[in-house]
């Protein structure tokens, strides 16, 4: 948005919609410092959500936080164990996102 966009397309909003909404509203109401801080804080989780082909990581994250959305359909496969561990750590420390 700081580059001229008028909205967002967000994978993160699938698991933390209120956080993304608040970040966008902070930006739109002129609280750029808070919006920027929120964006920077969320980068590790966003990177983890793109650690493999979409929608593999987001489906794993949704299942992990209690939304039973099943596994990816073939030809996609489940998230790798290494990336599951990374996401588990990031999802565990989610107090800022809620």
pLDDT one-digit tens code per residue, 21-32? 999 999 999 999
Q: Domain residue spans in the chain?
A: 12-92
12 touches 46 (CB < 8 A): yes
Whether residue 98 is predicted with pLDDT greater than 90 in this model: the reply is no
Q: Where are the alpha helices (DSSP H) in 1-98?
A: 17-28, 32-49, 56-64, 81-92
Whether residue 95 is predicted with pLDDT greater than 70 in this model: the reply is no
Tens digit of pLDDT for each residue in 35-79? Answer: 999 999 999 999 999 999 999 999 999 999 889 999 999 999 999
| Phi–psi pair at 24, nearest 5 degrees | -65, -45
Whether residue 96 is predicted with pLDDT greater than 70 in this model: the reply is no
The total of other beta-carbon atoms located within 10 Å of residue 83's CB is 17
Whether residue 94 is predicted with pLDDT greater than 80 in this model: the reply is no
Q: Dihedral of CA 34/97/55/69: which sign?
A: negative
């Amino acid at each position: 948005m700081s580059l001229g966009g008028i909205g967002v397309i967000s994978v993160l909003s699938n698991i933390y919609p209120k956080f993304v909404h608040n970040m966008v509203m902070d930006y739109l109401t002129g609280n750029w410092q808070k919006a920027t801080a929120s964006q920077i804080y969320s980068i590790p989780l966003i990177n983890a959500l793109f650690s493999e082909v979409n929608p593999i990581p987001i489906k794993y994250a949704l299942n992990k936080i209690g939304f039973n959305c099943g596994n990816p359909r073939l030809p996609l496969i489940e998230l790798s164990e290494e990336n599951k561990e990374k996401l588990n750590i990031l999802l565990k420390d989610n107090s800022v996102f809620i």
